[in-house]
Every structure is written in C-alpha cells, then in structure tokens.
Amino acid sequence: MVLQNWISFLKKQKGLFAILMVSQIVSLVCILFVFGVFQNNLYELSANVDTKFLNASFRKSTVTREQLTKVIKTLTDDYDFSIDYIYIDASVKGSDISYQDRVQYKDGVFSYSDRVLENVKGSLDGEMAQPVHYKKVEKVVVISPNIKKDIGQTITLDGENYQIIGINNVNGDGEMEMPYLSFPKKAHYDTFSVELTMLPTRSQYDDFCQELKEGETALFCVGNQAEGLRRLYKSYETANQMADVAVMGNIPGEQCCGRHKLVFYKNAGMFRILFALKDEEVMQGYVEDTVQPLLEYDALHHTDLAGVLQCYLRHDGSLQDTANELIVHRNTVNYKINKASEILKMDLTRLENRLQVMLGFGICQILHK
C-alpha cells in the first residue's frame, strides 16, 4: 500500500522527483571528491614525513671545503635531485664540540635551510646564518643553551673566535651551528648527508655514489708466507679469513697506493688464533658465553646495540668518535653502551672485557660468513 502511494506521488510530482535525484547525485559526487582530496592529502603528508637521506662518511679520509662546495653545486645543478637541504658536520680530534650546518643551495646562493629554520623558530633566540655569512665566510655561530654567553658576544672555539648570532635551545651540549665554510681550520669533515624531498631512484643513488667515490678506500689482505704450491692455498685461505674480520677489527695495516690499506697476516695479532680454530662447537660456545645475549636481545627488541658496540670497539672505546660515525649524540651512544654492558654483565670500559667481546664478534663473523 505504501509503495503504491509512493509511486502515485512520483507520477504526479515528476519535477520534484527529478530535483531529488539530481540532488542525490550531486551529494554523492561531493562526497567522493572530498574523500579523494582527503586521501591525496594523507598520501602527501606521509611522503613528507618519510625523510629521505643519501649519506656519505669521511671518517677515514680527508675532504676540503672546496671539494664539498663543488659536490654541492654539482648535485644541485648537474643532476636531477630534489634536494631539501644538506647536513654537514665536523669535529676536532680530542674535542667534544660538534660543528654542524644544514645548508641549501638555490639560485647560486648558499643559505641555511628554509624548512629547518621554520621548524626551529620556536626554540631559536637570535638568527641562523644568513646568505651574507656564507658569501663572506664570516665567523658566526649559533650556540647551545648550556654555554653561558649572550648574543653579540665572542666565543673561542678550537683556537678561533666567533661572534654569537643565536642560541638554539634544542641543541645538545657541544653542538655548534655555523656555515660549513666557517668551520675551524683544525676541524675534520665527518658527515655529508643529503635530504631529498622524495625517494631517490636507483640512477640518482648511483650518481651520488659516483660523485663522492673519489678517495674510496680498498682493503688488501696478505696471507702467511707460503713455500711451495701445496701451501699456497693455505695462505690464500688465511688472507680470505682475515678479510672477514679486518673491517670489523682494528688490525693494523700500511698505507698503499695513497688511501688504500694493506694488511699482513703477521700483523693480525690475536685474530691469528681465530684463523687456526677448526672446532666449530668450541667457537659457538665462546660466542654464546660472550656476545650471544646481546644478539638475542637485539633480535627480540628490534634494537641495534650490537652494531653500536662494534662501532664503539672499532674506535677503542671512544664515545665521541662512535657518535660521530653513527651521526648521533654522544649521550645516545653512552646510553646504548651502558645497556649493552648491563645485558652482557661486563664492564666495557675495561680493556680485557672489550677484547673478549671483540673476539666474540670476530668468531661470529667467521661462523656466519
């Protein structure tokens, strides 16, 4: 009955029915449009949140400010990179100060990153480096809040005087921001990190590597001296084993052909013991007694304590050098080393304990190569 009345009504009010249908269609289109815009904004937001970096470390080589400037200009002008900004840091051996810059190069002008500046405005007193500071290579610095000096005053950093132009209240102890061209002459450039606005293509990654690969270091391992063809394979096997641990351990070597490193079996020290071990059960037992708890903790909690500890061992227990290589704050490294020490139940400041752990990682490398 109701359906018949509804059909009769529609026949008498055809105009009203047409308006009603058009209204429904328009409403549906509007809903779909709004949903599409919302989805598009979500996609763009997630893309912006996902930071994209191309990183290079100069920890084991020397690079000049002129070379860095050339690389920045080449990456910006000659390659199809969507560069947001470039992070550069440097340090002076024996100093706790980290010199940092987040620079952009647009239309032939160097300046501090616009996007980073927008993010730090709320915590910044004064100003960041201006284009004129880059152009004239002026000695200006933005200090951390723990330094008891005011804007406009002068501060001496590693033997050079700088004028304080700002205070960044989120900077950690020892973090100084200034134009990379104005870093102290004693400073060694450590990190060159390009942040892109979108994920790099394989071609862009290859271009980046090609631009920075000058000065790439090769490792040559020489086995024990062999007499006769029958012992030649043994020498080769020893050299091959040595290569497995040479990158991880501090095996002394000699400079070869400029930047390359030449490592001899006779200089392998305690690692020679590892090469002679044949009983995998004994080796596995040593791993379980030393580094296994840490490896299991990392696997269970998705942490990187073992990697940080290996880096710490490579740098002879130096927190600052480890932090510089990993591009993190010294306090972060200190926390992770203390956590690793707690898990392993070892005092990692003691040399003998570090040697045990280094052997454990070395054996683990041989077992799983």
| Parent domain of 10 | 1-29
Any domain includes 40: no
The pLDDT score that the predictor gives to residue 191 is 80
177 part of a folded domain: yes
pLDDT of residue 38: 37
Whether 34 is covered by a domain: the verdict is no
100 and 227 within one domain: no
Residues 227 and 199 in one domain: no
Residue 202 and residue 57 share a domain: yes
Asked whether residue 35 is domain-assigned, the answer is no
Same domain, 238 and 347: yes
Domain termination site, one of 154, 181, 212: 212
Domain assignment of residue 360, yes or no:
yes
Q: Are residues 265 and 350 in the same domain?
A: yes
Query: DSSP secondary-structure letter at 216?
Result: -
User: Is residue 184 domain-shared with residue 267, that is, in the same domain?
Assistant: no
Given a cut of 70, whether residue 27 has pLDDT beyond it is no
Give the long-range contacts of residues 355-361, CB within 8 A, separation 24 or more: 355/270, 356/290, 357/290, 357/291, 357/309, 357/313, 358/249, 358/313, 359/270, 359/274, 359/286, 359/290, 360/286, 360/287, 360/289, 360/290, 360/291, 360/292, 361/248, 361/291, 361/306, 361/310, 361/313
Over the chain, what is the mean pLDDT?
75
pLDDT value at residue 164: 96
83 vs 320, higher pLDDT: 320
For 177-191, what is the mean pLDDT? 90
182 & 285 share domain: no
Are 75 and 20 within one domain?
Answer: no
Quote the number of domains for the chain: 3
Residue 38 lies in a domain: no
Q: How confident is the model at residue 14 (pLDDT cuts 50, 70, 90)?
A: low
In this structure, are 322 and 182 located in the same domain? no
Check whether residue 187 and residue 75 sit in a common domain. Answer: yes
